[in-house]
Copies of this chain bind each other. A is one copy, B any other.
Amino acid sequence: NNYINFPLVASPPGTFGAVSNMPSNSGSILGISSQIPNRTTEFDGLVLKWGKGLPSFSTPDGNYSFRVRGRILADYGASFSSRFPQQNISRTILRAARLGVQGRARNLSWVLEGDFSSNTLQLMSAFATWTDKTAGLLSEYTIGNKFSERGFDGSTGSSDTVFLNRDIVANLLVPMMGWYGLGGAYKIYGKNWHIATQISGDQVNSTNNTNNVRDDLTYLLRAHYIPFKDKVSLIHLGFWGFYEDSKPTQNFTQNVNLLNYTDNAFNFQVRPTAPLSHSLSGGVELFGIWKSFWALFEFGLRKLSLRRTYSSYPNYALWAGKSGSEEALSVQGGVFLTGETPNYFAHSGVWAAPRVLHPVTQGGLGAWEVSLRYDRASVSRSLGSSNASTVTLGVNWYFLNYARFMFNFTHANVLNTHGLYIGYNSGNTLGGRMSITF
């Protein structure tokens, strides 16, 4: 039987035995690959690993590898009880539909991936990485369009998050360039820590070309450290920050979804629509595992400075040269009812796919996780003193390592002082997702 050796017990947290896969947004990692006994086929010149869904092709020495990769995240959401009827809608969406390839030839690896959801193409990863081992430490030099590290939930790929929507620290404290940046990155990894740095222009777009403007320039840093780890528990400390220098025409305005992606009308709306000069942001992460339980605390701040000159905003004089701030906090926790170790990826300190002890394809129940999150965000008086909070209850059923159903109930409160739907409001969403990563 092929499955006789399949481990039926949970592995210590933060080990490769405790997570099934690399996070789905990571490229190849030199010398590190999924350590779980996969369904592997090996000949003298080729190794196929089927455990992730699609096979990964590699040479036996591990020097060359190639994989087609992607994900499908299909959502349904029903919103109700907002006082604005336009916000009480039910809708299907594809949260993500991605197709890409990743390859590696010795030290050089590359990833190219596009998102096909919404019937348009969005380029996601498009980078090449040179990996070196310096004094036993893994270092990565990357050039291209790459997902940024920014907080615990914010550094996690869309296919690996615990809830349908990332926490509000990740969603509010986003630089103008977005989640990906085109530029250079350097990362270094220790045994129980890593440091990630990135200097980026804007995500690829045609806007800069059409308007003939320079890029926003963004400098990012994130680090994590695991001060304690034993057979059943683990503590993770992390911090991150970014500084951005915005291009002249870059207006600042934010609409942060509070009731998932299926209800884009129920927003936390941060205004004015005025040109941003620069902003500085930072945050801390505290994460812990005990047996099948996990808890995460995230907090972050952002200080924004508006431009003194140039604006087509109607009430320009009101905003010129002003500064403001945003803050966001998230407290969350969960437990795997079926005994799995939480799917923490110790290498870079983010979520990965869980290792399901009893997959449904082998007659098991899959893995069942229950989780709860409280998020809160507010902005300074100069930006309108708006605030928002949400409570989300989640149930995840991982029927395989790379396929899951997710169910979320979210209650949100918001006070908007700008934009549409001004005033205090509250609402609820029942949301579901079918997610498959390959």
Q: Which residues of A contact B (CB under 8 A)?
A: 39, 41-46, 48, 50, 53-55, 57, 59, 64, 66, 68, 70, 72, 74, 76, 86-87, 89-94, 97-101, 103, 105-108, 110, 112, 114, 116-123, 126-128, 143-145, 182-183, 200-206, 208-209, 212-215, 264-265, 361, 399-400, 403, 434, 436, 438
Residues of B within 8 A of A143 (CB): 74, 434
Residues of B within 8 A of A399 (CB): 108
CA distance A204 to B74 in the complex (A): 10
Are B66 and A68 neighbours in the complex by a CB distance under 8 Å? yes
Q: A41-B46, A48-B57, A50-B64 are in contact. List 18 more A-B contacts (CB 8 A).
A: A54-B103, A55-B64, A72-B110, A72-B112, A72-B144, A74-B143, A92-B201, A94-B123, A94-B182, A97-B123, A99-B112, A106-B361, A114-B121, A116-B126, A117-B123, A118-B206, A209-B264, A212-B264
Main SS at interface, chain A: strand
CA distance A46 to B91 in the complex (A): 42
Q: Which of chain B's residues has its CB closest to A100's CB?
A: B99
Copy number in the complex reads 3
With beta carbons under 8 angstroms apart, the residue of B41, B112, B119, B205 that contacts A45 is B41
CA distance A93 to B105 in the complex (A): 25
CA distance A143 to B22 in the complex (A): 25
Give 18 A-B contacts (CB < 8 Å), ordered by A residue: A39-B59, A53-B105, A55-B57, A68-B101, A72-B110, A72-B127, A91-B201, A92-B182, A92-B201, A94-B204, A97-B145, A105-B400, A108-B361, A110-B436, A114-B116, A117-B126, A119-B122, A121-B121
Q: Which of chain B's residues has its CB closest to A117's CB?
A: B204
Most buried by B among A72, A98, A119: A119
Are A92 and B202 neighbours in the complex by a CB distance under 8 Å? yes
Are B434 and A89 neighbours in the complex by a CB distance under 8 Å? no
Residues of B within 8 A of A50 (CB): 59, 64, 105
Are B43 and A44 neighbours in the complex by a CB distance under 8 Å? yes
Q: With A70-B112, A116-B112 as given contacts, are A89 and B43 in contact (CB-CB < 8 Å)?
A: no
Residues of B within 8 A of A45 (CB): 41-43, 48
Residues of B within 8 A of A44 (CB): 41, 43
Q: Which of chain B's residues has its CB closest to A204's CB?
A: B94
With beta carbons under 8 angstroms apart, the residue of B86, B101, B108 that contacts A99 is B101
